[in-house]
Every structure is written in structure tokens, then in C-alpha cells.
Amino acid sequence: MTLIEFDAHNRCNHCPPMPLQSSLRSEGIKWGCKVAKPVRRWESSTEQVRYRMTEFKTQLEERRKLVDGKATSYRTTRDEWNDKSKTFTGTRNELNAEVRELIVQVREQREIREQMNEIVRDKKATRQEANTSVRAAKEMLEAAKGPQAAPAPVEPGQRRGRREKPPETIHTLKRELNRLENEFERGRHTGNNETKVMKRMKEIAAKIKKMKTSEDGNTDLKEARELLRVAMEAQEAAHEEVTAAAQAAQEAHDLMLQWNKEVDRQRDKAESAHRELRKSKKEADKAHHLYIVSLRCLHSIQDILRAMRGASAGAGQRPSARVEVQDLMSKLMSGETLSTDELMQLQRFD
């Protein structure tokens, strides 16, 4: 066993002399005795215990400050995640409310589409009746014209030409005349074509005049033409109603599809916000758990420090303060929220 002796300057016999130590330090070389540590000689055991207690108290104070800083950091982190949770909750709830409103709009457009489709079916039935009336009026008109105006009969086995023009009537001639007049006003016919169109318009006007003159002396023919005119007007009106209802149904259908896409898009955003909410709650719970653990460690250190101070002063810890700390810790561990005054009270119990 190596005997280590210390001089008055607390240097062991393994340390270099003072001049050598000074030269080492001047050259930037750190020096320290690695052979042995100085052993302090105590005058009494009481002095040694008191020194150890002071050293232990210093270490506890350092640990207390460290744990207190960690507890504050965990509490700050927890509060930040709780604030994020509130933000994500508000965002998710707003998006869910928008989704509900959009779903109502989708249902309304679906109902409008169904109503318009029902109207289309009714108007098609009305148009079919008008078509039947037009055919009947044409047959009556052909009968009133007599056999000389009737079309040539189709022999058995012979097919009617697909491009066979319908018979000319005052109504069809007026329709053609109006069409040519509109095209002429828009400037669609110029040059040689303009001359042809003007000639055709004069021919149509002459035919209409001739037909009206011949109808004045034929009451049956005049009545048949009037019936045909009324039937064709009803047919056109029914067709326009069918077209308008079908267009409204298509618009409602397109709008319904558009709202459906918006519902899917907003629902995806709401689900994303909900996932972020779950993540923030998980992180807040984790930080809160570490905060509770830090508080328990902190109060354990404070209990030891109070016991040490009480033992050194000759008195124990105040029972009322100890009970009050236990009550606050039990309240915190049960999941209840402590007020600011109660948190400050915990900080004062040291």
C-alpha cells in the first residue's frame, strides 16, 4: 500500500514541486494530481457530518433548480400543444359545419333535379299529344284539299323516299319566309346569293297569297289550316317546355356534382385537422405526464431539504404545510386543474 502524505499546502508527495507547476501552467498545460486525492482531516465526527450534510444540501439545491427548470419547460410545452389543440378543434369544427351545409345544398339540388325530370316526363307526354294533334290536322288538311293534292300512293314493296319533302302549307311557308328574312337581316346572304334569296322570298310570298285566296272560297280547307296552325303552335310550345325543363334538370345535376366534389374536398381537410388534433393531444398528454413526474421529483427534493433544515434547526416540518402539499399533489394527480395561486403555493413550499 502506497503511503500518501500531504504538506501544509495540501499537496501530496507525488505532486511536482511548485516551480515546475508554475512552468507547466505558463506553457498552457493543465496539471493535476491523478495519483491520489487529498484527504481532509476532521477535528470531530460532528464536523464531518455537518460538512457532508452541507455538501449534500448543495447538490440537492442544484438538482432542485434543474428539475424546476424541466418542470417549467414541460408545462410550457404542454400549454403550447393545448393551444394547438384548440386551434385544430376550431378548424375541424368549422370544416365539419361547412360539410353539413354543403350536404344540404347537394340534397336540394338533387330534389330540384328530380322535380325537373318529372316535369320533363309530363311535358313530353303533352308534346306527344300535340304531335298526334298535328298529324290529325294534316290528315284533315289533305282531305280538304281533295284527291288532286294528295301524294301519290306507295305501292306494296316500295319504300318511301327518306328525303321526301312534306307538303307545303301556309304555316310551313311562313316559317321558311321568317327564317330567310332573319338571315337576310343578319347579312348572311350577299352577292349572287342575295339575289337568289330575294327571289325565293318573293315566290314564298306569292304562294302564301295564292293559298289564302283559294282558302277564302273553301271553308273546310280554311278550317283545316287553322286547326293545323293551332296544333303546330301547341307542339312548338310543348317542345320548348320540354327543352327548358331538361336544361334545368341538367343544371341542377351539374351543380349537385360540383357540391359533391366540394364536400369531398372539405371533408378531407376536416379529417386532416382531426388527425393533427389527435397528434397535438397526444403530445400535450405526454408533456403533462413529464410535468407531473417533474413536480413529484421536485417536491420530493423539497421534502428532503425541509427535513434537513428542520433537523438542523431542531424542529420538524410543519404538519399543516406537509398536508397542504399532499392535498395539492393529490388534486393534480387526479386530473384536476390547479389555479395559478395553487401553482405558486407549490413553488413556495421549499
Q: Distance (Å, rounded) from C-alpha 350 to C-alpha 304?
A: 9
* One domain, residues 72 and 118: yes
Q: Coil, strand or helix: which one is 270?
A: helix
Task: Looking at the structure, tell me whether residues 25 and 107 fall in a common domain.
Answer: no
Residue 113 within a domain: yes
CB-count burial class (<10 Å; 0-12, 13-18, 19+) for 297:
middle
Asked if residue 343 belongs to a domain, the reply is no
Domain co-membership, 13 together with 67 = no
Beta bridge partners of 6: 12
Q: Which of 346, 308, 348, 300 is nearest to 327 (CA)?
A: 346
Question: What region, left, alpha or beta, does residue 28 occupy, with left being phi > 0 and alpha being psi -120 to 50 degrees?
Answer: left
Of all residues in the chain, what percent carry a pLDDT higher than 90? 25
Regarding whether 51 and 26 lie in a shared domain, the answer is: no
| pLDDT tens profile 78-127 | 999 999 999 999 999 999 999 999 999 999 999 999 999 999 999 899 88
d(CA 189, CA 180): 9
CA angle 24/29/32 to nearest 5° reads 85
Split at pLDDT 50, 70, 90, the class of 3 is very low
Give residues with Cβ within 8 angstroms of 308, minimum separation 6: 53, 56, 57, 60
Residue 163 lies in a domain: no
Predicted local confidence at residue 200, as pLDDT: 86
The Cβ of residue 123 has, within 10 Å, a number of other Cβ atoms equal to 20
Give me the sign of the Cα torsion angle 320, 324, 325, 330.
positive
Residue 66: CATH number of its domain: 1.10.287
Domain around 309 = 40-148+168-317
Q: What is the pTM of this model?
A: 0.50
pLDDT of 134: 85
Domain count, the chain: 2
pLDDT-derived band at 40 (thresholds 50, 70, 90) equals low
Q: Say if residue 34 is in the same domain as residue 48.
A: no
Q: Is the residue at 50 inside a domain? A: yes
Q: What is the structure's pLDDT at 338?
A: 58
To the nearest 5 percent, what fractions of the chain are helix, strand and coil?
80, 0, 20
- Plot region of 85 (φ>0 → left; ψ -120 to 50 → alpha; else → beta): alpha
- 256 and 144 inside one domain: yes
- Co-location of 175 and 256 in the same domain: yes
For 178, the grid coordinates are 321568317
